């Protein structure tokens, strides 16, 4: 499409154009004039955004099916979204990650913060997993993948088209290999541990890089300790604790496939003799361990997002409180309880308060030792608080 043929979309008179000018990347449905022409745009179409006084704000992608009706893609309304455009953004993202990490295992693109709205790319050595979670990225996927291969040199690219975000954009779910081959789980070395990432059938992109610094902190407290890792996925905190010198680690998860990958990770580390898994519902397992009289020097609970959006906030906070209440009695006196939340809707204060209530209801007193967030390969736009979704709290429990 030539620049001159981009359609124009316009903010409503009461919409906050100042926020857009100062870097906020989204326009919500009630902020945009949705006349017949705008409604007729294909999901993911490019358009020039103007304020109510017809002043140009930049180039956006439009999806009238989404609550986020427009996403700022380039402040230059003359921008052409082609392979060269993607290469510039990917080179900038790659430069940061190569400064952060010696090995090519990281989140390469973290959506809006890396200038690619709704796009997530995780790198696993010679393989990249792309999540095109916005309609515009689906349309331009071929150019994005070509740029990704050109910039990084990866030989295989997987499209992971699953998750709640795609549903909100009206996109179908599908996972497929776009380039090269992926023959099995990829071993990832992180914090001294080895994780086996299933890039095709695993959860999300196969591994959660965001917890890397929080794994490291928990592992620093695990030396000589018996460790419990609940909602462990493919080994998460438990394998990191073994690398940190834990005497033993028990991982609990509802997925048999994830626990099998965790066991393979422990085997690759030479730590199978210190590692055990237990499949089952996390809440029921916490209750069962208490009934068995078990206690651990370090307990970590890293559940899925209980409050992914505001309507689920109250129920989500009750669930976080329940996790803390059930986990607290399993912590030995003077031991450590690490609680995590990846819920966008639950901010740090609300999550901390829910956790503290749960610990108190579990009969324990606590002090906060550590507050952690996602690693630096998950940068956050300062104008977009939702980007700072991950919170990790470490409590020391007495009595």
Task: Give the catalytic positions in this structure.
Answer: 342
> Within a 10 A sphere around the Cβ of 112, how many other Cβ atoms?
24
Report the alpha-carbon distance of residue 388 to residue 377 in Å, rounded: 12
Q: How far is CA 303 from CA 67, 252, 343, in A?
A: 26, 11, 10
Strands 127-132 and 193-197: unpaired
Report the alpha-carbon distance of residue 358 to residue 373 in Å, rounded: 21
b/e per residue, 246-270, with b = 16+ CB within 10 A? bebbbbbbeeeebbbbbbbbbebbe
> Within a 10 A sphere around the Cβ of 118, how many other Cβ atoms?
27
Q: Are 132 and 175 in contact (CB under 8 A)?
A: no
Report the alpha-carbon distance of residue 391 to residue 171 in Å, rounded: 29
């Amino acid at each position: 499409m030539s620049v001159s043929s981009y359609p124009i979309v316009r903010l409503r008179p009461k919409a906050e154009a100042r926020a857009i000018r100062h870097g906020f990347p989204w326009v919500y449905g009630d902020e945009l004039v949705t006349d017949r022409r705008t409604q007729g745009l294909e999901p993911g179409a490019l358009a020039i955004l103007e304020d109510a006084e017809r002043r140009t704000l930049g180039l956006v992608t439009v999806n009238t099916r989404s609550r986020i009706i427009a996403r700022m893609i380039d402040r230059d309304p003359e921008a052409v979204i082609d392979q060269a455009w993607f290469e510039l953004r990917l080179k900038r993202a790659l430069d940061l990650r190569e400064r952060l990490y010696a090995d090519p295992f990281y989140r390469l693109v973290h959506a809006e913060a890396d200038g690619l709205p709704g796009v997530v790319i995780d790198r696993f050595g010679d393989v990249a997993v792309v999540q095109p979670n916005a309609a515009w990225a689906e349309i331009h996927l071929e150019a994005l993948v070509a740029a990704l291969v050109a910039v990084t040199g990866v030989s295989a690219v997987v499209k992971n088209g699953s998750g709640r975000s795609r549903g909100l954009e009206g996109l179908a779910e599908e996972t497929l290999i776009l380039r090269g081959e992926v023959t099995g789980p990829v071993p990832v070395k992180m914090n001294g541990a080895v994780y086996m990432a299933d890039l095709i059938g695993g959860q999300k992109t196969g591994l959660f890089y965001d917890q890397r610094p929080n794994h490291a902190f928990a592992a620093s407290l695990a030396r000589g300790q018996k460790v419990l890792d609940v909602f462990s996925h493919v080994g998460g905190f438990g394998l990191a604790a073994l690398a940190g010198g834990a005497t033993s680690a028990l991982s609990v998860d509802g997925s048999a496939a994830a626990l099998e990958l965790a066991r393979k990770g422990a085997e690759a580390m030479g730590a199978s003799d210190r590692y055990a898994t237990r499949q089952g519902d996390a809440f029921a397992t916490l209750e069962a361990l208490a009934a068995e009289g078990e206690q651990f020097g370090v307990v970590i609970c890293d559940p899925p997002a209980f409050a992914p959006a505001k309507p689920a906030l109250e129920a989500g906070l009750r669930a976080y409180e329940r996790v803390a209440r059930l986990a607290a009695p399993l912590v030995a006196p003077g031991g450590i309880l690490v609680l995590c939340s990846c819920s966008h809707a639950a901010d740090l204060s609300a999550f901390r308060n829910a956790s503290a209530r749960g610990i108190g209801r579990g009969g324990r007193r606590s002090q906060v030792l550590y507050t952690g967030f996602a690693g630096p390969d998950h940068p956050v736009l300062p104008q977009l608080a939702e980007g700072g979704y991950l919170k990790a709290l470490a409590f020391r429990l007495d009595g």
